[in-house]
Homo-oligomer: A and B are copies of this chain.
Amino acid sequence: MRRGDRLRVRYELRLSGGETARGKAEGIGREQTVEIAPGIASARLERRTMGRLVGIERRGSARARRASATIDYPWRELVSDLPQLLNLLFGNVSMQRGIRVAGIEWPEELVARFPGPRHGVAGLRDRLGVHGRPLVATVLKPIGLSPRELARHAAECALAGIDLIKDDHSLADQPAAPFRERVLAVSEQVRHAHRVTGRRTLYFPHLGGPVDRLAERLDDLREAGAEAAFVAPMVLGLDTMRALADTSGLVLLAHPSFAGAYLADAHGIAPELLLGDLFRLAGADVVNFPLAGGRFAFSRASFDAVRERLAAPLGRLPATLPMVAGGIDEAKIARWLPRLGADVVYLVGGELYRGGRVRERAARLVERVATGALRP
């Protein structure tokens, strides 16, 4: 953790045409701040506000034309809020090519301006009363089912001891299952299961928008007694999640929908910084992302980096819980259990629905995960 006035950002560069590493790197420090050609603003102003190139090195062979550039930004002059942090890190340069935000060293005081996880791993575990083992989650889907059908599935899963239940991110406020009806019906079943089993299940309804109805949606959540919610920050706006974290008191889960375009190798933002640091700064208690080797384009390296970064020191923020997803079944969990440790959520979606007997199979899965009885 850095102290002081400089936000240090490392960009990986791919050079094309007549670009030089130094030219491209200095261009970023200028483009993202004063955004004006040299020789127009005063030298004094540029010293005060411009990003300063503090390190540059070639990567790989000369033919590969890659470099790594480190820029220090005087963040106090530049970052008034979370949207401006996005603007600064990757705003205008997103419209160029071959620029990837690959590393960020956060000044402690900058981190302290953002809410971060309000509950974090420890708060979530306390709420569930579950410690020292991975959590198991499921998804209410598919879109097209009625609130009653979704609630029935939720009931089976909650009675089976599933820890977390989330809406599918496609469920918002469609005619088949309007938000309010769905949330009320599912929450009632989750409460019912708690009375029956004594175990807690946390339900994350999808706050999908529109943004000017979020206050009304929050009223629905209060009426339903829901304590959690999930958002897709790149769909709804990262700062809208931040505002929810600042004021709602809800346990918040962040979903990567619409975020994938930023995660390309050559141009974008490293997954551990977007889904890791930025989602965590903005208040995600849980971040949902793909298991490596599943149906999404997510490498083992990215997968590990996101997991690690969610738990790594970041100011005084609590750790965020990784929720891994994407075609997970019992066999996959068995393979990953020894590697991922206790602080992870396995999200089993469609596979729990296959062939009926949901409650029985879900209960067995939770039992096996809880007792460590699953073996690869």
Q: 20 additional contacts, CB 8 Å, given A35-B143, A90-B261, A211-B242?
A: A33-B142, A35-B168, A36-B353, A37-B351, A49-B142, A49-B176, A78-B143, A78-B174, A84-B208, A86-B258, A87-B208, A94-B256, A95-B260, A96-B296, A210-B242, A211-B243, A237-B240, A261-B264, A261-B267, A264-B264
Q: Which of B33, B95, B170, B235 touches A170 (beta carbons < 8 Å)?
A: B33
Chain B residues, CB < 8 A from A260 = 93-96, 267
> A354 contacts the other chain (Cβ, under 8 Å)?
yes
Cβ A83 vs Cβ B176 within 8 A: no
> A224 contacts the other chain (Cβ, under 8 Å)?
no
Interface residues of A in 220-251 (CB under 8 A from B): 232, 235-240, 242-243, 246-247
Chain B residues, CB < 8 A from A82 = 209-210
Chain B residues, CB < 8 A from A79 = 174
Q: Which of B32, B88, B142, B239 touches A36 (beta carbons < 8 Å)?
A: B142
Cβ B209 vs Cβ A81 within 8 A: yes
Interface residues of A in 111-151 (CB under 8 A from B): 141-145
Ordered by A's residue number, 24 sampled pairs between the chains whose C-beta atoms are within 8 Å are A33-B143, A34-B142, A35-B141, A35-B170, A35-B349, A36-B142, A77-B175, A78-B170, A81-B173, A81-B209, A81-B210, A83-B172, A83-B232, A87-B172, A87-B232, A88-B170, A92-B296, A95-B296, A96-B296, A96-B297, A210-B239, A240-B240, A261-B267, A264-B264
Interface residues of A in 4-19 (CB under 8 A from B): none
> A48 contacts the other chain (Cβ, under 8 Å)?
yes
Given contacts A142-B49, A144-B49, contact A95 B349 (CB under 8 A): no
Cβ A172 vs Cβ B296 within 8 A: no
The interface centre, meaning the residue of A77, A94, A353 with most chain B CB atoms within 10 A of its CB, is A94
Chain B residues, CB < 8 A from A33 = 142-143, 170
Give the 7 A-B CB pairs with smallest separation, nearest first: A237-B237, A94-B260, A83-B209, A34-B142, A91-B257, A95-B260, A49-B144
> A41 contacts the other chain (Cβ, under 8 Å)?
yes
A238 to B, closest residue via Cβ = B237
Chain B residues, CB < 8 A from A34 = 141-144
Interface residue count for A (Cβ, 8 Å)?
86
Which of A's residues lie within 8 Å of B, judged by CB?
A: 27, 31-37, 39-41, 45, 48-49, 76-84, 86-88, 90-97, 141-145, 168-170, 172-176, 208-212, 232, 235-240, 242-243, 246-247, 256-264, 267-269, 290, 295-298, 327, 349-351, 353-354
Shortest distance in angstroms between A210's beta carbon and chain B's nearest beta carbon? 4
Shortest distance in angstroms between A242's beta carbon and chain B's nearest beta carbon? 7
Q: Which of B32, B176, B246, B263 touches A77 (beta carbons < 8 Å)?
A: B176
Chain B residues, CB < 8 A from A295 = 27, 31, 96
Cβ B142 vs Cβ A92 within 8 A: no
Cα separation A259 to B168 with both chains bound (whole Å): 25
Cβ A48 vs Cβ B264 within 8 A: no
Cβ B268 vs Cβ A261 within 8 A: yes
Chain B residues, CB < 8 A from A45 = 142, 144-145
